[in-house]
Structure 1
Amino acid sequence: MRRKQWQGWGPGEQAEQHYLVEPRALAGGGDLRHVSEFLRACGWRDKSKPGGPLVLDSPDRTIRIGYNPHVLPGGWTIHGKATHSQGEWTVTLGRQTPVEIVAGLTDTLTRPLSAHAPNVWAPLQEQRWNTTRDAKQFAAVSPDGTAWMQFYEDQSGHAMWWSGAHDQQGNGWTATFTASTPMHLVQAFSTALASPEPVMRPRGRVPHGSQIRTTSVSVLPSQLSAWQQARVQAARAATWARNWTANRPRTTARPHATTNHARTRTRR
């Protein structure tokens, strides 16, 4: 374990011990607000009941995101209704799926669709994941063997995406995506899954495991709050800009004025 100290502390605050954890796929669930506060800032409607599971609906009510720890196996469910251009789809992610990886997918739901064709495998190959392929399955495994991503088709022709991570003791999580899940969302997930960036967890919330590497950092509460607010404010600003562009009144070009007005002539 390495140790690092943040500089620039102000008076009157007590630093708290946190850890940068890698690989991120084994960092544990984390703070749900990393996902929920961003969505609320993007205009998603909070349908949660007091003491109940988290439930958020997209502004157009076509997508619902839920987190329920009170059932088995529990975790995240993301469901998209069928539309004129997209079939119904569902994503489920286990309780220990890091919120940073969940957010890789859910943040994408708030942004305009990219013009580029999605490629689920590109982010994994860029991080040197090991890939295998046969007639029924395409799979990628992280270099350390802790995380995977698969697309497979069973004997009945039913296809689906399957992903997850586990340590040598079998602790971890899994995620499933119906074959109808929009490909750009699956790519957003694989990008977050393959990211080499560590994630931060407070003391007492770091899973135990021989494959987990940590860096100890001392962080002020005001720093944590500032980082969280920066993410929320960025979401609000982007949402405002999109709404302003979509709703601004269109101006009608004035017809060219007639040329009957008098002109000054040069006398010869």
Structure 2
Amino acid sequence: MPDKIDIALVEPRCIAGGGDPSWITVALHRAGGWSYGHDPLMPRVLLSSPDQQALLRLEPDADGPWWRLEHTATDGQRAWSASFGARTPVEIIAGLTDALTVAETAPTSDPYEPLHRAGWRTDSARKAFVSPDGYVRIEHFTHSSGFWFARAALPTVAHGVIWQAHLSGETPPHLVAGFTRALADDTPLRRGLDPTRIPYYGTPHTHVTPCQVPAATVASALEHRVKDLTARRAGAPRPAPQPPETSPRRTR
């Protein structure tokens, strides 16, 4: 194995591509105790929460979202659901799934607060927020049972839409806040430097920073994430963060 590996740091994160699904599935299974059960001959993953109240489905669907999360009703909480398109970065979806797995520790569970803090523009008439670059819009519809709807879109893509996310109105606020925090985060996402791993549709709009990082850092990234979530779930001290990558130059 080489000592160093070429990777790409991609921004904005909303159009960095879906990424590795194991960032979510392995973390839920190993850190959250979610069990899996699926037919190995079917192209799908099914994960159930330890209390059997939540079910995550990941399966290819040409006409709908690839990620579906459903939670049954409990005492004091109505049933809720969330879905995400195939190209939704897993790091953004993980904002919600991590908050579902780990006890709430954030200073606020207000879904709007991360967007305000990140400088997203507001459309108060429609209860909508637009990212500073204009690529992402999230709206909160409050009529009837209400729901949250987010989408990433580019003018250079047919029909514009890259991915969509839908959170039912009953989704607990701290979970929505976990999603909006990940959505508003401007940290570049790590992707393989292979051009096929970086979505072609974002080329005119994406900043790609090639860099080399220790092979051990790449190999242990998921393991470190699992240990971090496990520690947070148990209330133990969190593992030391991994050393940041250096960014020698930026290209488009």
Alignment size in residue pairs: 227
* Residue in 2 that maps onto 1:186: 176
Change (3 A) 1:124 1:49: same
Q: 1:218 aligns with which of 189, 198, 212?
A: 212
Which residue, out of 101, 112, 115, partners 1:121?
Answer: 112
Amino acid in the other structure paired with 2:139 = Q
Instruction: Tell me which of 12, 37, 43 is aligned to 1:23.
Output: 12
Match of 2:167 among 177, 200, 218: 177
User: Are 2:218 and 1:231 aligned?
Assistant: no
1:1-268 matches, cutoff 5 A: 13=2, 15-41=4-30, 42-52=32-42, 53-114=44-105, 118-134=109-125, 137-153=126-142, 157-168=144-155, 169=157, 170-202=160-192, 203=194, 204-208=196-200, 209=202, 210-240=204-234
Q: Please tell me the residue identity of whatever aligns with 1:49.
A: D
Q: Which moved more, 1:221-230 or 1:27-36?
A: 221-230
TM-score by length of 1: 0.79
Q: Which has the larger radius of gyration?
A: 1
Deviation at 1:116, TM superposition (A): 5.6
Instruction: Please list the CA deviations of residues 211-255 of structure 1 after superposition, one character each: whole Å capped at 9, or x if unmatched.
Output: 11110122444221122211112233444558xxxxxxxxxxxxx
Deviation at 1:14, TM superposition (A): 5.9
* Structure 1 gap ranges (5+): 1-11, 243-268
Residue 4 of structure 1 corresponds to: none
| Residues 30-51 of structure 1 deviation map (CA, whole Å, 9 limit, x = unaligned) | 0001001111112111123214
Gaps of 5+ in 2: 237-252
Q: What do the CA deviations read for 1:3-55 (whole angstroms, capped 9, x no partner)? A: xxxxxxxxx51643321110101111000010011111121111232143111
* 3-state SS, counterpart of residue 73 of structure 1: coil
3-state SS in 1 of match to 2:182: helix
Cα distance, 1:115 vs. partner?
8.2
Amino acid across the alignment from 1:112: A
Over the matched positions of the two proteins, sequence identity in percent amounts to 32
